[in-house]
Amino acid sequence: MRSLKDEQYRSPEPPTLSQAEIDEDPHGIYRRLRPITPVIRREGGSYIAIRGRDVQQLATDPRIRKSETEVLRARGITEGPIFEIFSKSMLYSNGQDHRRRRLPMSRAVAFKLIDALRPKIRSVADALIDRHFSSGAMSFMDDFCAVIPAHLICMILGLPELDIPRFTHWVHSLSRYFGFSFLPAEIPGIQTAAMELAQYMRKLLDARREAPRDDFLSSFVATAERDGTLSAAERLAQILTVIVGGIDTTRGAMAVQVALLLQHREQWDAVRTDEAPIPGAVSEALRFEPVGGSISRVTVEDIRLDQYIVPSNSVLSLSTLSAMRDPDLYHEPDIFDIRRADHPRLHPVFGAGAHRCLGEALARAELEETLAAVVSRLPQLRLAGNPPVVHGHSGIRRVGSMHVSWPT
């Protein structure tokens, strides 16, 4: 009997594109290629699954696993602060290591914590609007979106308010590596930011161990120590992973959702006059222009997608960016519609299976409460200049600058 391995040698190669080609117009590239091929190949050898149903199925397929240190090693990073964080993080582990690293964090992230934070999120958003209201304009990304997630994480962790600016700088630097949107010359600076953030958080974890408080960080430390399954380095890596993932993606998504609504004025007016559509607006913005562009996986055996074979031990990205614009899954997917009724119960942008994002409830709370604050306090908000450009097609995408104005 002929095996899949035998067929590999006669399998055609999928279309190959450079990262720059895809980044130039990812939605257009995927729209053109989805009817032709289920998979494309990046220059360098990694693959991208681009059809919605394939992405859905592969997200929990036992023939693939979460990528671990493959991407770092491919970039020549085999040691240092970044490697330490990635190699010990639940985000980049599988099987028993993943379950062991995730469990103390999932116990600490309780829904009652999120519900209690909603009024605080609204209060922070209102305070920022008050700070800038008289000027009639602000850099929405820098003055609003970048401040709220960092402020909230600092609030959850119990950090002094004076530490927020440098804390935000460290996180933003490190998040560039999570999105793989950096130049080789930037690696030393990212390594430095990772080292400084790790040193800062290590001291904070030690302080909570010695003098616990009634907060998230103390709960995590207590749970991890009681379970006794995580090393000190692993505890630190889980906290750093949640911090980076919880700040930069939310920051970008916050700007994107407001920009999309301002470009669809009738839908802005719908949420301005009634807060009921706000959760739908958040879900639709996350679908239409996600800040997280893909899920990175590694094949553990050969996988056939139509006539193509993705070989074992290949990096295979599952493009949620493409899947959420696939007409096989969504009606008129290139139309932004906050009243869309075909969203799946579990939003694909937060992943699937054992690796589904732990911070989903917190992200939704931030996005919903800040949007409610903006539409109620600044009903005549306008874009001042062009809408923000979202760069990249994989990992954490980068959101460009965004300026807004309003009558005073």
State mean pLDDT over 328-334.
Answer: 98
Question: Are 14 and 47 in contact, with CB atoms under 8 Å apart?
Answer: yes
- The single-letter DSSP state of residue 49 is E
Tokens of 298: 């590694």
pLDDT greater at residue 324 or residue 207: 324
Residue 180: left (phi > 0), alpha (psi -120 to 50), or beta?
left
Question: In this structure, what CATH number is given to the domain that contains residue 140?
Answer: 1.10.630.10
Residue-wise pLDDT for 58-76, tens only, equals 999 999 999 888 777 777 7
How many whole angstroms from its chain centre is CA 62? 23
pTM (predicted TM-score): 0.89
**pLDDT computed for residue 6 by the predictor:** 47
User: How many domains does the structure of the chain reveal?
Assistant: 1
Q: How far is CA 149 from CA 86, 88, 141, 351, in A?
A: 22, 24, 12, 20
Q: Give the mean pLDDT of the chain.
A: 89
Provide the residue range defining the domain that includes 366: 4-405
Burial 76-105 (b: 16+ CB within 10 A, else e): ebeebbbbbbbbbbbbbbbeebbeebbbbb
Mean pLDDT of 267-294: 96
In three-state secondary structure terms, 156 is helix
**Is the pLDDT reported for residue 351 higher than 70?**
yes
What are the pLDDT digits (tens) for 99-113?
Answer: 998 888 877 766 567
Confidence category of residue 16, pLDDT binned at 50, 70, 90: very high
Q: Which of 110, 45, 82, 16 is nearest to 314 (CA)?
A: 45
What gap in Å lies between CA 372 and CA 3, rounded to an integer? 57
Percent of all residues in the chain with a pLDDT value above 70, rounded to a whole number: 94
pLDDT at 179: 56
254 SS3 class: helix
Q: pLDDT class for 180, splitting at 50, 70, 90?
A: low
Q: How far apart are CA 64 and CA 316, in angstroms?
A: 8
Rounded average pLDDT over 336-346:
96
